[in-house]
Amino acid sequence: MKLIWLEDFLVLLQAGTFSRAAAMRNITQPAFSRRIQMLEEWLGVQLIDRASAGLRLTPLGERYTHEFRALLMHAHELRNRIQAEQHGARRILVAAQHTLTITWLPGLLRLVQQHAPDVELGVDSQDRGQSIARFAANEAQLLLCLEEDMPLASILPHAERLPLGYERIIAVSAVTAAGTPVHSLHARRPTRLLGYPAQSFMGAILYRHCLPPLMDRYDVRVVQESGFVAGIKEMALAGMGMAWLPERLIVRELKMGTLTKVGPELPEVDIPVSVYRMARGDRHGVTDRVWALFQAHAAQAAAPE
């Protein structure tokens, strides 16, 4: 099997048609179609339902698309690590939750760049469950994640945990011309809330810690839901409802006054942020070097001023 076949298949899903995908791959449509067929022949199954009028996957194609993406990602990550080592650099992979790649990871990347310039940190940004799974499968050397009530160390006995600090979740709204929240709690009218799916990590925080104190006193209606925190932020900025968001994610908007806190009576939740590594270090000691930098940084941040 050739990796370009997997790349072709995933581009096809992105493009939606064979002609558009062929143009994106800069080859003719017949040549592109033949490469998809070669992938199917190598697998011994059909991935595309050619009896359908539009582009449609077979049940097997749908079921294994995620694993195709993961396989391609792993292959590219392996190539990057080998090339980095060939050029005298060392590369490790950090599995990180989507939101933390915006709020926490840039500072950690700058720290490594400043103090260990020969080390390259690759980043795999996924939802929390997928990040944990990659780390648990030893596909990533570090894991950056938000913690639940019970730290992950309880289910990852061979991992070492380093607490970095807290992500504060606060209630915010877009702002009126007068500088007041567009959406706030009112006894006589329902409050529009932008929420998260109950089964998601942020949804569990919302329904466990934020909403219970309010539901008995106010009419709170969830008008939109998304598991993508940055998407909820954009909807809040558009004035579609109030939302609980990570404070670090909206620092600029709070300073500019495009978002504002909603009411002092609303709960604010501090969620621990931790980085994990497996207890056994890699043979080059690269993870140990980065871990030592993170430890020193966390100790400095926790020291009293």
Residue spans per domain, the chain:
3-68, 89-166+272-302, 168-270
CA distances from 283 to 59, 90, 143 (A): 42, 11, 19
The dihedrals phi and psi of 10, each to the nearest 5 degrees, come to -70, -35
| Residue 302 DSSP SS3 | helix
Of the candidates 139, 58, 196, which has an alpha carbon nearest to the alpha carbon of residue 131? 139
Dihedral pair phi/psi, residue 137, rounded to 5°: -90, 10
What 3-state class would DSSP assign to 90?
strand
Q: What is the largest CA-CA distance in the chain?
A: 69
**Does 3-68 match 89-166+272-302 in CATH topology?**
no
H helices of the chain, where?
3-15, 18-25, 29-43, 59-86, 100-103, 105-115, 128-136, 201-205, 212-215, 229-237, 251-256, 286-302
φ and ψ of 2, to 5 deg? -105, 140
The pLDDT score that the predictor gives to residue 283 is: 44
| CATH number attached to the domain at 3-68 | 1.10.10.10
The per-residue pLDDT string of the chain (305 residues; one tens digit each, 9 = 90 and over) reads: 788 888 888 888 888 888 888 988 889 999 999 999 999 999 999 999 888 777 888 888 888 887 888 787 777 767 766 665 555 557 788 999 989 999 999 999 999 999 988 888 888 888 888 889 888 888 888 999 999 877 787 778 788 999 999 999 999 999 998 888 998 877 778 889 999 998 889 999 999 888 887 777 788 888 999 888 988 999 999 999 999 999 999 999 999 999 999 977 788 999 999 999 987 654 457 888 899 999 999 998 876 65
Domain 89-166+272-302 architecture: 3-Layer(aba) Sandwich (3.40)
pLDDT at 64: 83
On the 0-12 / 13-18 / 19+ scale of CB atoms within 10 A, 165 is: middle
- β-bridge pairing 191-195 and 220-225: parallel
Instruction: Find, among 134, 153, 128, 94, the residue nearest to 294 by Cα.
Output: 94
* Amino acid, single-letter form, for residue 174: A
| Model confidence pTM above 0.75 | no
Do residues 258 and 237 lie in contact, with contact meaning Cβ atoms separated by under 8 Å? Answer: yes
Fold of 168-270: D-Maltodextrin-Binding Protein; domain 2 (3.40.190)
Task: Count other Cβ atoms within 10 Å, centred on residue 196.
Answer: 23
Q: How far apart are CA 243 and CA 228, in angstroms?
A: 13
H-helix or E-strand containing 222?
A: strand 220-225
Query: Can you say how many angstroms the Cα of residue 194 is from the centroid of all Cα atoms in its chain?
Result: 19
